[in-house]
Every structure is written in C-alpha cells, then in structure tokens.
Chains A and B, each alone.
Chain A
C-alpha cells in the first residue's frame, strides 16, 4: 500500500504544520468591529452617525462639566473665578451642589439629625429585603412588621409611646383572629379583629400613649412635616404610598375579580376613575378640594393629604398589577383550593394570594418606580421636593440664575435610584420566568 501511495503522490507531509494565526480580518478587534459595527453598508452608516452624535454631545458637555467650579459662595463668585482663570467658554458652577446638596437630599431637616432619616431608610431596606430576596432568613420578617412604626417614629420624632400604642392595636387584632375564633366563630373573629382595634385607635390609643409618655417619658425631638423636603420627601411619599396602597390594591383586585355584582362594579368604577385622570389633577384635588370632603373640624396637613391621595392613586395601579398576577395563576390552583374545602378567604390567604403576589412583584416594583418619578409633580402644589427646592434655591440671591447644575444633579440622583430598582425588577422577572418554564 505504502508503495503505491509513494508512487502516486509525490509529497506527503510527515509532520503537522504549526498552527497559524487566523487571517487578520477574522480575529481580535478587527473581526469584532467588522461583525458588530460594519457588517453592512447600512450598519456602517449607522455606526459613523452614532459616533458623530456621541462626539458632538461629549464635545458640548464635557468641557462644561469637567471644568466646573466646585468652590464658590455664589454664582457671581463662580463667574469671577472663571474669568480670573482665563477660561473663555462657559463652565458649570457645581459649587451650588456643594453648598446645597444637603437641602436637595433632606430638605430643611435639622442637619444634626440627619442620622434619623438615614437610619429609617436602612431599616426600611432591612424590612423589604426578605420580601425582595428569598434567600434571606425568614426571621427577618419581624423587622418588616416593626419597620413602619420605627420609621415613622424616627422621621417625625416625638414620644416613642405613640407608635407603640398604635402598634398595640394591631396586636389586639391579631390576638382576636388567633384566639377568638373558637369563641366567636370565623366571621365573628374577623369582624371583631377589625372593629375592636378601630375603636381602640379612635378612642384609646391617644390617651394610652399620652399616659405612658407621662409616666415614662422616652422620646426624641419632634420634627414637623414642613421641615421635610428634597429626595427624602420624594422617597417618603413614594414608599408610604406603595406600602399603604398594597392592602387596598389587593382588595380592589379581588373586588374586580369577584362575582358579586355590586362589589365588582364599585371596584371597576374606582379603578377606572383613578386611572383615567392624571396624577397632577389628583394632587390639585388633594391640595384644593380634600378639605371640602372632610368634616369641618378635621384638617390634615398638606403632606398627609398628598400621601392619602397618592396612596389612592397607586392602589388603582397596584390593583391592576395584582389582577394580572391573579389571572396568571393556573385555574387548577383555584379548583384545588375549592376541592380542599377551603372557604374564599382561606383559599385566598393560603393558596392564591401568596402565589399571585409573588409573580406580581416585578409589576409592583415598576409601579413604584413610576410613582417615585411622579412624586416630582408635588412641586406644583407647593411641596418642596427636589425640583421645588431647586426653585427655592434659585430664588436665593446668591444662586439666582443657576440652572443646569441643579437639574443635572437631580436627574442623576433619580437615575441612580430608578435604574437600580428596574435592574432588580428585571433580574427578578428573569428568575421568575425560568421558574415557570
């Protein structure tokens, strides 16, 4: 064999040739560029166009941003520094941020008490962590229960007994549900768990708190809500509205799914009316009209009115999100619950809602992002959110005439906050998706 071979073929390579590099257009940066930037004429044009846009934007913004002046007392001083250093183009006056950043973040909250809102934010973070991340120990949920009271106390201050007295009402309700069922029957226990705490809050909680405070005064300095402002205000409005709107939203979603005609129609009307009218109109309603709807002797301060209104607003959106979650559950879950002989509330509480809420979390988070962004609208009714504060800052004669710096700072803060939230929500969505396939 080898002979014939030797005759027919003149040359046989005995060894492997050494590996060669691929052609220069098929490797490294060049290949990547060819595939990703210049794969066709259209793509090449788009690439060049994009590069030009990027260059153009950076050329206009970078010198202004980077050359910014950080150390000045007022805008005119900024201009003097710029002229003295011989720069002939406009530069940013970031000094307004160094001078006023604390106001943009905390409003008029006393600076020596900044630890309180920060601590409240940390507690809030700890409270929602076990809900957002399943890997954390379940015991952390205890923090979640205590967090609203703790955060309220930290932010507004005052006697520690007030929030404790209020929290005690929930304890009563829980005790009635847990231990009263044998005594009162299921329905009686639920009714009792609602009525008794309400009566307690209306008539007893105040005096009890006051009496406890009189016997054992523990408290921290009280801060009025007019001192709140900036991002702190935006976060408080956004977070409390979402947290408070969850129970209401779930009820509305159940109402909209319900077979009971009147309840169904009422839920639908409420949701559609709220969603059909812009938030800014609702905010003006809160500021101009809410006092018409309340008895003459009751009057809330503006921040509370805004929180109530935004809560109602958010609850309609949450209801739609939860309804989506309820609809996404396989029909078998409902039938399974029925076949176990669970009544409506048991089925909802033990089987349907836990699953529906879990798949609704991404939707709830994006509702929250939208709501958080929308808190900027409170500027139109005179609350000093970041944009409102930027106007107040510009009314100070030292900073009158400053413009872009404040808005860029505010925009950047919003971006960081909302972007990280949306990344979380997308991560969660991916995780949930794989779980279902």
Chain B
C-alpha cells in the first residue's frame, strides 16, 4: 500500500506525460521535447541503430518538426508504436504526432477523429513472389497463400482485391515485417503483400534479391502521412507546413548545404518568405522566424531525406516514382508560401 503511493508520487514528480489539450505546441515547448510516435522497426523508415539513435524516413519528419518547434532536431522522444497501439497513443496524448506509415483513409480521418496533415509518401499495396513460380501478374494468384501483416489496411485491401476478381486465397497473418520476411523466405507463403516500399525494402535485404519479383499491379492507394489529433489546428498547421516546407525546399533548390548561404538573402521571393527573411511566417505559427532554416539545415529537404534513407543509393533502393516533384512527373506539389 505504501509503495503504491510512492509510485503515484513518482508520477507526480515527473514521469507523467503531457495531458491531452488543445495547446500541443505550448506543451511541446514547455516540455522542450517532441513526443513522436514511430513504427517499432521498419527498414529505411524507422529503426534504431547500434547507438540507439533512431534513423529513417519517418524519423526525419519527427526531427524536422522538432527543429521547427524547438530549434533542436535532437529534442525528440521517439515512442515506438505498433499497428494496434498507434491511434490510442495519439488520442490519449502520449504522442504529439504520429510519423509512421499510416494510410490516410476516411474512417481514420473522420470517424477516429484524427487529422492527416499531408502526405509524405505515396505508396500502394503490391505483391512480391519468388521468380521460380513463374507468375507475372497478380491476376494469376488464384489459390495462393498470402503473407500479410495484421492490424493494417492491407488486410482489407487484400480481401477486396481477391473478392472483386473472383479469386481464392489463404491469408497467413503475421505480426511484423520481420516475421513476414522469415515466413516468406521459408516458403510458408507464396506471396508477400504490403506497401510496395516495404516490399522493396524487404527484398533489398535478401541473400539473392533477383530471385524475387514485385508484381506490376498496385492494388490500392496508400497515401502515408503524419497524423495529429483532431481539434488542435495550430499544431496541425505547424506540422503541415513543416512537411510542405520540406517539399517546397526541394522544389526551390534549397538544400542543407546552401540553406545558410540562401538565408543571407536571395532574389527569389519564395525562398525569402520561406526562410523568414520576408513576412512573419514563423511567429504566426508561434515559433521562431528562422524555423525553416533550422529544419533544412538539420535534416535537409525532402529529396535529401529520401536519398539518404530510402533512395536508390541505399540498401532499400527505392526510385522516386510518384514521390518525385510535380515538375518531374511525380505527385509532390508544395502549396505556396505566401
């Protein structure tokens, strides 16, 4: 009895995390740290390295927001969440934002009362299959055994795909990507289905990647993006414009190398406004005037983040594809800083 009171006091003394309220930004600034929900481990997107530093594409978004809100990209408290716990963690205020491959869907946005601030990766569900089976199209998968991660939208997509094409399949549910990989390689399932970025990342680590093909069909749209709680628009705006800033910086040619130079002043008014030399965009969001300078100098622009974590030179080896700038035929289209 006495000891449990002691525990309660510990909570009062400082272990208690922030409570849910509308003022997320104030809380983050008072705390001096951003609580960011990430995946427990997905190659290229979020995983801790041997020093315990989190690395990856989603992790970089957290760092960018921390750089904007607090001026320090390392002031992030990474909270690993599973497919099952992520939404509760966000709803309860345990994390300030989710930067975790979360698909933007109607129910999640409206019914579960979250706010998707934008899209940082356009993905789609695909299939991977061993080359030796000689299958060239997902339409030939009738009767196949399919490995699939539970607790994700992929389950529903898969059921819809096979039902609409009048095909039969046997789902093999697995808990994590790592388990799925082991099952697939052992041949316990013919096909592995998940977001095609995940497929590419997984295939890249196989002993013989060329023995596996990724089907050309993409059976779903998976717009992945950071999520915040419904109802705190100031915080949502901040996260949204950090994301837009990352994309715009690439479009405008602002990189981590030249951002300091450009911050001195340029003749491009868009860059001027974004980097805080013109207008009061930072203070309007409730943060420093040079917020985008902090962001770009610490994590780089969208293109740099992509290339560093999942680009073609990394083991993951993803092409830009849909995630190229609109000027290059992709879907990334930053809204104007004006």
Q: Do chains A and B touch in the complex (CB under 8 A)?
A: yes
Render A242-255 as a binary contact track against B, CB cut-off 8 A, 1 for contact. Answer: 01101110010000
A58 within 8 A of B: no
How many residues of chain B get a CB closer than 8 Å to chain A's CBs?
60
Tell whether, in the assembled complex, residue A395 and residue B47 are in contact, meaning their CB atoms are under 8 Å apart: yes
Cβ-neighbour of B49 out of A158, A226, A396 (below 8 A)? A396
Top 4 closest pairs, chain A to chain B, by CB? A395-B41, A108-B52, A400-B205, A395-B47
With beta carbons under 8 angstroms apart, the residue of A202, A206, A240, A299 that contacts B20 is A299
Q: List residues of chain A with CB within 8 A of the CB of B206.
A: 401
Q: Across the interface, which residues of B come within 8 angstroms of A247, CB to CB?
A: 1-4
Residue of A107, A297, A300 near B11 (CB, 8 A) is: A300
Cross-chain contact B80 with A392 (CB below 8 angstroms): yes
How many angstroms between the C-alpha atoms of A227 and B79 in the bound complex?
10
Q: How far is the CA of A297 from the CA of B9 in the complex (A)?
A: 16
User: Which chain A residues (249-295) contact chain B, with CB distance < 8 Å?
Assistant: 251, 284, 287-288, 291
Interface centre among A240, A381, A384, A400 (most CB of B within 10 A): A400
Residue of A103, A246, A299, A311 near B16 (CB, 8 A) is: A299
Complex Cα spacing A56 to B155, Å: 41
| Contact status B43-A397, CB under 8 Å | yes
**Contact present for A148 and B3 (CB under 8 Å):** yes
Chain A 375-398 interface mask (CB, 8 Å, partner B; 1/0): 000001111100010011111110
Asked if A170 is at the interface (CB within 8 A of a chain B CB), the reply is yes
Secondary structure call for the A interface? helix
Fill in one digit per residue for A352-385: 1 if any B CB lies within 8 Å of its CB, else 0: 0000000000000000000000000000111110
Q: Quick one: CB contact mask for B50-81 with A, threshold 8 Å, 1 for yes?
A: 10100000000000000000000000011111
Q: A103-B52, A400-B181 are in contact. Are A311 and B4 (CB under 8 A)?
A: yes
Contacts between chains A and B (CB distance < 8 A), count: 169
User: Is the C-beta of B315 less than 8 angstroms from some C-beta in chain A?
Assistant: yes
Is there an interface contact between B315 and A397, defined as CB atoms closer than 8 Å? yes
Give bound CA distance, A381 to B92, whole Å.
14
Query: What are 26 A-B pairs at a CB distance below 8 A?
Result: A107-B52, A169-B5, A173-B2, A198-B5, A206-B12, A226-B77, A240-B7, A287-B88, A287-B89, A288-B88, A296-B19, A298-B16, A300-B15, A300-B16, A304-B10, A308-B7, A311-B4, A380-B82, A382-B89, A391-B178, A392-B41, A395-B40, A397-B44, A397-B47, A401-B205, A401-B206
The contact string, 1 if C-beta is below 8 Å from chain B, for chain A 287-331, is: 110010000111111101001100100000000000000000000
Contact B80 A170 (CB under 8 A): no
Residues in B whose Cβ lies below 8 Å from that of A384 = 40, 80
Cβ contacts under 8 Å, B202 to chain A: 400
Given known pairs A201-B12, A297-B19, A299-B18, the reply for A392 and B48 (CB within 8 Å) is yes
- A428 interface residue per 8 A CB criterion: no
Residues of A contacting B50 in the complex (Cβ-Cβ under 8 angstroms): 99-100, 103, 396
Q: How large is the interface on A (under 10, 10 to 19, 20 to 34, 35 or more residues)?
A: 35 or more
Given A226-B78, A287-B88 in contact, is the A396-B52 Cβ separation under 8 Å?
A: no
Is A34 interfacial (CB-CB < 8 Å)? no
B178 touches A394 (CB 8 A): yes
Question: Quick one: closest B residue to A384, CB to CB?
Answer: B80
Inter-chain contacts of A99 with B (CB < 8 A): 50
Q: Are B13 and A209 in contact (CB under 8 A)?
A: yes
Q: Which residues of B contact A152 (CB under 8 A)?
A: 10
Instruction: Tell me whether B1 and A251 are in contact (CB under 8 A).
Output: yes
Q: Are A382 and B8 in contact (CB under 8 A)?
A: no
- Main SS at interface, chain B: mixed
* B23 at the binding interface (Cβ < 8 Å): no
Contact A201 B18 (CB under 8 A): no
A393 and B47 alpha carbons, distance in the complex (Å): 7
User: B186-224: contact bitstring with A at CB < 8 Å (1 yes, 0 no)?
Assistant: 000000000000000110111100000000000000000
A105 interface residue per 8 A CB criterion: no
A392 touches B43 (CB 8 A): no
B177: CB under 8 A from chain A? yes
Complex Cα gap A313–B285 (Å)? 46
Nearest B-chain residue to A229, judged by Cβ: B52
Contacts of B81 in A (CB 8 A): 382
A75 to B7, CA, bound (A): 43
Residues on the B chain within 8 Å of A148, using CB: 3, 6
Q: Which residue of B lies closest to A202 (CB)?
A: B12
- Specify the chain A residue showing the minimal Cβ separation from B310: A397
Pick from A75, A79, A205, A393 the residue with the most CB of B within 10 Å. Answer: A393
Query: Is B5 a contact of A201 with CB atoms below 8 Å?
Result: yes
Q: Decide: A392 and B40 in contact? CB cutoff 8 A.
A: yes
